[in-house]
């Protein structure tokens, strides 16, 4: 059974196409990079899959079922810039929000839920920041807090929209370690990612996207100079990155 199946998905913004006739399948247990230039529809793909925006046509299935039947199996970490960091909530309460789907309507968190929050705060290194308001955290700490909120859902599939943007190396390494652990547990993780140099060292599967699907498959099969050129066009800077990749150079990201 595939973790994700997208069939002929088309999405418009104000009558302008953002995704066009997109079809792809991804098996479970993969760490997937969603790769493409700005405006390629990467975040749109995630939001359409999650039902946050309505497509013109097409369908999305998770583990062979529509989202409404498996919603608790799917977690989401949005872009940091889309979050209201001045909202008056502590780090502890933010992570607890990830348990609401398990608690049900009008049920209060139990001691076991609170212990679980402390456990996930420890996993992201934020135990001592539990009582802080989220705006008092650094960018990397904020990202880790939102990842903890997603992980405490104990889902089988996660979408993370640009989790490495604007964070420190400590947070980067910690998040990468968490991703490795999730993959070893058989989880499927989709990550919108921009640093081409680091793609081979992080992901084992890639979706190359620029409004249309350019490629979807194992890194060695689809993350090639030819398909990257088709994804990004002939921008000189990006072609330089492709040259680096062909020489098997990677960035400062730790390898998984």
Evaluate whether residue 170 is within a structural domain: yes
Q: What are phi and psi of 209, to 5 degrees?
A: -140, 135
Per-residue DSSP letters for 11-77? EEETTEEEEEEEEEEEETT-EEEEE--TTSSHHHHHHHHTTSS--SEEEEEETTB-HHHHGGGEEEE
Evaluate whether residue 212 is within a structural domain: yes
All residue ranges of the chain with pLDDT < 50 are 236, 239, 242-243, 246-252, 255
In the structure encoding, which two tokens stand for residue 1, read together? 């059974």
In the structure encoding, which two tokens stand for residue 12, read together? 């418009």
What residue numbers bound the domain in which 194 lies?
Answer: 2-246
Evaluate whether residue 255 is within a structural domain: no
Q: What is the three-class DSSP state of 140?
A: helix
Evaluate whether residue 256 is within a structural domain: no
Evaluate whether residue 150 is within a structural domain: yes
Measure the CA–CA gap between 203 and 164, rounded to whole angstroms: 14
**pTM higher than 0.95:** no
The Cα-based distances of 53 to 46, 70, 102, 226 in angstroms read: 9, 18, 24, 32
Evaluate whether residue 48 is within a structural domain: yes
| Per-residue pLDDT, 234 | 57
Strands 188-192, 157-161: pairing kind: parallel
Q: How many domains, in total, are found in the chain?
A: 1
Measure the CA–CA gap between 56 and 9, rounded to whole angstroms: 8
Measure the CA–CA gap between 144 and 230, rounded to whole angstroms: 34
| Per-residue pLDDT, 103 | 65
| CATH code where residue 22 lies | 3.40.50.300
Evaluate whether residue 251 is within a structural domain: no
Please calculate the CA angle 63-66-67 and round it to the nearest 5 degrees.
90
Q: Judging by beta carbons within 10 Å of its beta carbon (0-12, 13-18, 19+), is residue 234 exposed, middle or buried? A: exposed
Evaluate whether residue 25 is within a structural domain: yes
């Amino acid at each position: 059974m595939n973790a994700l199946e997208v069939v002929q998905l088309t999405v418009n913004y104000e009558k302008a196409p953002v995704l066009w006739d997109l079809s792809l399948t991804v098996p479970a247990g993969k760490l997937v990079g969603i790769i493409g230039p700005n405006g390629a529809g990467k975040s749109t793909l995630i939001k359409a899959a999650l039902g946050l925006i309505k497509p013109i046509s097409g369908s999305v299935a998770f583990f062979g079922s529509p989202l409404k039947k498996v919603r608790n199996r799917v977690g989401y970490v949005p872009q940091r810039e889309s979050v209201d960091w001045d909202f008056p909530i502590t780090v502890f309460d933010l992570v607890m929000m990830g348990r609401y789907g398990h608690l049900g309507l009008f049920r209060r968190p139990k001691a076991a839920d609170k212990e679980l929050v402390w456990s996930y705060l420890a996993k992201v290194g934020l135990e001592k920041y539990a009582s802080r308001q989220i705006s008092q955290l650094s960018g990397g700490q904020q990202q880790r807090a939102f990842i903890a909120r997603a992980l405490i859902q104990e889902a089988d599939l996660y979408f993370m929209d640009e989790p490495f943007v604007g964070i420190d190396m400590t947070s980067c390494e910690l998040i990468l370690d968490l991703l490795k652990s999730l993959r070893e547990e058989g989880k499927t993780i989709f990550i919108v990612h921009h640093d081409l140099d680091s793609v081979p060292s992080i992901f084992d599967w890639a979706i190359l996207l620029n409004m249309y699907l350019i490629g979807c498959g194992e890194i060695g099969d689809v993350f090639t100079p030819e398909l990257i050129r088709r994804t990004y066009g002939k921008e000189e800077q990006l072609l330089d990155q492709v040259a680096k990749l062909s020489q098997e150079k990677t960035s400062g990201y730790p390898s998984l």
